[in-house]
A and B are shown apart, each in its own frame.
Chain A
Amino acid sequence: MNINVTLLWQMAFFVIFVWFTKKFVWSPIIGVINERKTTIADGLAAAEKGQKAEEEGRQAAEQFVADAKAQAAEIISKAEKTGQELVEEAKFKARTEGDRIVESARDEIQTELNKARESLRGQVGELAVEGARKILGREIDAKAHADLLNQLSAKL
């Protein structure tokens, strides 16, 4: 085991190689490794962000659909209600209109009846007067017996 000048040479080689490695090997490669690490980390973060955004979007869409459904249901029920109301109203209107028509018809009938009754009554009076004249053989003064005649026709 001889220790000699070989040792000093080896130390010199050592220094040279370490210096060379530091300058031309380690710095460029570790720089690139770290750069790639950053890229991968960024990519993962972006992916996570995208996933989160997608999830949020999905939830928003679901919410939107649910809202739309609820709104639609509300509109339908409102429309149904309005329709029913319309029908009810129409029915009511029709009924009142019918009633009114019936009433007026009845009134008209009554009026016609009264009119007929009146004319009938007049005619009956006349007939009675005519009959009485024929019976009595003389003319009855219609004017003089108007009271009597009116009483008669009122009885009819």
Chain B
Amino acid sequence: MTSGYYIQHHLTNLTFGPMEKGWGFAHSAEDIAEMGFWAMHVDSLFWSFALGALFVWFFSRVAKKVTAGVPGTTQGFVEMIINFVDENVSSSFSAKNDTIAPLALTIFCWIFLMNLMDLVPVDLIPWLLSKIGIEYQKVVPSTDPNVTFGMSLSVFALMVYYSVKNKGAGGFAAELTMHPFESKNIVMKILFIPINFFLEFVGLIAKPVSHSLRLFGNMYAGEMIFILISLMYGSSIILSMSGGALQFVWAVFHILVITLQAFIFMVLTIVYMDMAHSHH
């Protein structure tokens, strides 16, 4: 097994989709290419859904028997997170919308849990699953651009929806075409429309792209380094031992990264939502 194959194997999703011989799991890059758009990353979706479900299960279990009296340890923990999110929302989001805070909470906890999978030793789950015949497994959903784009595009859709809802289609269009170049003269105004639109549209599109690529890039790079570190274990004893030390150091550092990335994704969501509600 070469290093190249090892890395490649780790970066391949368990993919399910339609092929010439019918629906099934892909066994090679050719199979995946054949599926095209209808390829489905079963591992990403499974872990993403399972972790999201873990979050809503845990929180709704607390919410069901929540008390205004003296909170227990679990309720205290949940309330701490909710207060943290609530503070962030009320400091960045000035309008009134009851969906933004739960949105931010979901994003923060869900992304944190997905990122947390990065701290599970890279080979552990794929190795266990290979015993039952599952060929490929990527356990960190946030290293899959489909997942990060799925979330950032959902946020983007909400942003466009709230923009149109709060400012009207005309207001939203004006925001895209009347800035940054402004003029009192009607002719100049019309002349500026395409230039403004080009500038603003790039800015608009950059939002979901940077939003998701920031998370994806950080997690992908982190995962990559774990894979490279784990490559050291196969060689000499000194490399194996320094690999252990490196893995520990990188994992500790990653505790910060995964939390920070979840936090940044949440804050950006709140900021985008605030933009969609504020009037110039």
Contacts and interface: CB of A to CB of B under 8 A. Distances in A.
Interface stretch (B30-38, B162-170, B196-204, B228-236): B30-38
Contact of A18 (B68, B82, B86, B106): B106
Contacts, number: 123
A39 B68 contact: yes
Q: Is the interface of B mostly helix, strand, loop or mixed?
A: helix
Instruction: Give chain B's interface residue range (CB within 8 Å of chain A).
Output: 35 or more
Nearest to A6: B146
B99 interface: yes
Contact of A22 (B39, B78, B102, B147): B102
A30 B60 contact: no
A38 to B, nearest CB: 9
Interface stretch (B2-10, B47-55, B187-195): B47-55
B153 interface: yes
A1 B45 CA distance: 16
A21 to B, nearest CB: 4
A29 B38 contact: no
Interface in A20-41: 20-22, 24-30, 32-33, 35-36, 39
Instruction: Give chain A's interface residue range (CB within 8 Å of chain B).
Output: 20 to 34
Interface in B129-183: 144-147, 149-151, 153-154
Contact of B82 (A1, A7, A10, A30): A30
B147 A30 contact: no
Nearest to B81: A29
B98 A6 contact: no
Most chain A CB neighbours (cut-off 10 Å) among B52, B86, B110: B52
Interface of A: 1-11, 13-15, 17-18, 20-22, 24-30, 32-33, 35-36, 39
